[in-house]
Amino acid sequence: MAHRYLAFDIETSKDVPGEDFNWRPHRPLGISCAATLESGAAQPVLWHGKTPDGHPAERMSQADARGLVEYLSKMAADGFKILTWNGLGFDFDILAEESGAAAMCAECALDHVDMMFHAFCSLGYPIGLEKAAQGMGLPGKPPGMNGAKAPKLWAQGRFQEVLEYVAQDARTALELAETCEERRKLQWITRRGTIGSMPLPRGWLTVREALRLPEPDTSWMSTPMRRSGFTAWLPAGR
pLDDT in tens, 114-130: 999 999 999 999 999 99
- Cβ neighbours of residue 95 under 8 Å, at least 6 residues apart? 10, 31, 65, 68, 69, 105
Residue 206 C-beta-side C-alpha neighbours within 13 Å: 15
3-state secondary structure of 33: strand
Q: pLDDT band for position 19 (50/70/90)?
A: confident
pLDDT in tens, 64-107: 999 999 999 999 999 999 999 999 999 999 999 999 999 999 99
Instruction: Give the helix/strand (H/E) hosting 160.
Output: helix 159-183
Instruction: Tell me which residue of 109, 122, 106 sits closest to 227, measured CA to CA.
Output: 122
Q: pTM for the full model?
A: 0.94
Share of the chain above pLDDT 70, in %: 97
pLDDT in tens, 26-51: 889 999 999 999 999 989 999 999 99
**pLDDT score of 1 more than 60:** no
In whole angstroms, what is the distance from residue 189 CA to residue 198 CA?
12
pLDDT at 2: 67
Q: pLDDT band for position 238 (50/70/90)?
A: low
pLDDT at 194: 96
Q: pLDDT band for position 140 (50/70/90)?
A: confident
- Do 173 and 7 form a contact (C-beta atoms < 8 A)? yes
Give the burial string for 138-173 (b: 16+ CB within 10 Å, else e).
eebbeeebebbbbbebbeeeebeebbebbbbbbbbb
**pLDDT score of 60 more than 70:** yes
pLDDT at 212: 97
**pLDDT score of 142 more than 90:** no
Q: pLDDT band for position 56 (50/70/90)?
A: very high
pLDDT in tens, 156-186: 999 999 999 999 999 999 999 999 999 999 9
Task: Delimit the domains of the chain by residue range.
Answer: 5-113+146-182
How far is C-alpha 46 from the geometric centre of its chain's CA atoms? 15
Q: pLDDT band for position 22 (50/70/90)?
A: confident
**pLDDT score of 16 more than 70:** yes
pLDDT at 18: 76
Looking at the domain 5-113+146-182, which fold is it? Nucleotidyltransferase; domain 5 (3.30.420)
